[in-house]
Amino acid sequence: MSSSLTQVFAALLLSTALACNAVTATDTAVALPNPVVDAPLATVKGEQSAVLAGGCFWGVEAVFEHVKGVTNVVVGYSGGAAKAAHYEMVGRGKSGHAEAVKITYDPSLISYGQLLKIFFSVAHNPTELNRQGPDTGTQYRSAIFYVNEEQKRIADAYIAQLNEAKVFARPVVTQVAALDAFYQAEAHHQDYAVRHPDEPYIVINDLPKVENLRQQFPQLYTPR
């Protein structure tokens, strides 16, 4: 399909979604409190990682690529066995894996708790069980794969804080599990939203998340 026809098709799909009251850039983001429990900003520059899953990894990656303090984002699979870590098997929903992103960040510029605040606020809907938007299955589950006990402590405390405050209409169902391994996804999935900005799925489901980040977190948003 030509780029002009793709753009027309995307515009038609987007207008249909708006007419049907689908989730849009103005109503998906949820204003959240800062985590009460968080790691303080480091006094020197460094490098740490966070592994998060929240539906199709294209959109989660697109959000965190625009966050100040994040130096790299890679999409992949976590939660299952090495032999099942490829898209064809994960897509069947029986691999045990979730589509995940590995975020490398500078803890002197952004805290783990702030990453979780963005994750819960604009990157996905943490109250949806085994689905996000049009995508269904355990591979699209909401999950935090912690790499150490401090991350587990911060994640558990923040989920409890959000549920107690009832900031969402339904309870947060995000799984908190120890990271066993992160398997990088195939090359054509990396930077997918950047390379396919006119694809209808990206226009409807993922670009609004990036816009929500810009609106909700202007101090943390950075152009790519």
Nearest alpha-carbon partner for 58 in 222, 221, 200, 179: 200
| Strand pairing class (175-178; 183-184) | unpaired
Main-chain dihedrals φ then ψ at residue 6, nearest 5 degrees: -60, -45
Active site residue 56: yes
**3-class DSSP state of 116:** helix
User: What distance in Å separates the CA atoms of residue 177 and residue 142, rounded to the nearest whole number?
Assistant: 11
User: What distance in Å separates the CA atoms of residue 120 and residue 108, rounded to the nearest whole number?
Assistant: 21
Count how many Cα atoms sit within 13 Å of the Cα of residue 197 in the half-sphere of its side chain: 5
Q: Which residues are CB-contacts of 30 (< 8 A; sequence separation ≥ 6)?
A: 120, 121, 167, 168
User: What distance in Å separates the CA atoms of residue 66 and residue 4, rounded to the nearest whole number?
Assistant: 27
User: What distance in Å separates the CA atoms of residue 119 and residue 175, rounded to the nearest whole number?
Assistant: 13
Q: Pick the catalytic residue: 32, 50, 56, 89?
A: 56
Question: Would you give the DSSP letter of residue 221?
Answer: B
Catalytic residue IDs:
56
